[in-house]
A and B are shown apart, each in its own frame.
Chain A
Amino acid sequence: GAVVSQHPSWVICKSGTSVKIECRSLDFQATTMFWYRQFPKQSLMLMATSNEGSKATYEQGVEKDKFLINHASLTLSTLTVTSAHPEDSSFYICSARDPGKTTEAFFGQGTRLTVV
């Protein structure tokens, strides 16, 4: 099956610093990637849809200047949490669709972000 690799798996950072999370599709080209956030015991919540070569589409309530998304190539999308605060601590997951397999969405391993 298609593989999506997300890095890092976990990160601890100080309040006020920025953190970059990478999401790569390893064996297929993903024109669209999705970024989700999941707080403990809650559902996955879509933050933004990342399109290769264009600006990301953010969901209502998600600050685009705080959560910077770059999708510079067909196999890489990055999410940068800028000026992180403790309330940004969460599980961030990326997902990509293989254009040849529209019935599945493949997920990265997820990144556990803790802001102290």
Chain B
Amino acid sequence: GQNIDQPTEMTATEGAIVQINCTYQTSGFNGLFWYQQHAGEAPTFLSYNVLDGLEEKGRFSSFLSRSKGYSYLLLKELQMKDSASYLCAVVDSNYQLIWGAGTKLIIKP
């Protein structure tokens, strides 16, 4: 079966750095998305990785290792507004999105 694993919840301090991990086992791989979702709202796009390595975009960076079936989202200089759920999603061989359950990130002052 297909499976995406993320931690359920993480807590971090404002101004700090946090890394949210995602491991996956899917039938084929055509890329991995990270989305941010605030409560009661639709997800918003953060990043897309299809090749190994680190993609940096401002305070957010995303890393992918296809051989390990592993990705992480790195958030720097955390702000209170970063409190949200972060969803990892993999595009499988049929170009369908397989979603993780999301990681709820709580930022404390």
Contacts and interface: CB of A to CB of B under 8 A. Distances in A.
Q: Do chains A and B interact in one complex?
A: yes
B87 A105 contact: no
A116 to B, nearest CB: 19
Interface of B: 31, 33, 40-45, 48, 50, 87, 89, 96-97, 99-102
Given A103-B31, A103-B48, A107-B44, A43 B102 contact: yes
Contact of A110 (B41, B48, B87, B101): B41
Contacts, number: 39
Contacts of B45: 104-106
Contacts of A106: 45
Contacts of B99: 43-46
Given A43-B87, A43-B102, A44-B87, A105 B42 contact: no
Contact of B97 (A6, A46, A91, A108): A46
A107 B100 contact: no
Interface string A13-49: 0000000000000000000001000000011111000
A13 B12 CA distance: 40
Interface residues of A, number: 18
Interface of A: 6, 34, 42-46, 91, 93, 103-110, 112
B101 A107 contact: no
29 contacts: A6-B42, A42-B101, A43-B87, A43-B101, A44-B43, A44-B87, A44-B89, A45-B99, A46-B96, A46-B97, A46-B99, A91-B40, A93-B42, A93-B43, A103-B31, A104-B48, A105-B33, A105-B45, A105-B97, A106-B45, A107-B42, A107-B43, A107-B44, A109-B41, A109-B42, A110-B40, A110-B41, A110-B42, A112-B40
Contacts of A103: 31, 48, 50
B55 to A, nearest CB: 11
A110 B42 CA distance: 5
Given A107-B43, A110-B42, 15 more contacts: A42-B101, A43-B102, A44-B43, A44-B99, A45-B99, A46-B97, A46-B99, A91-B40, A103-B31, A105-B97, A107-B42, A107-B44, A109-B41, A109-B42, A110-B41
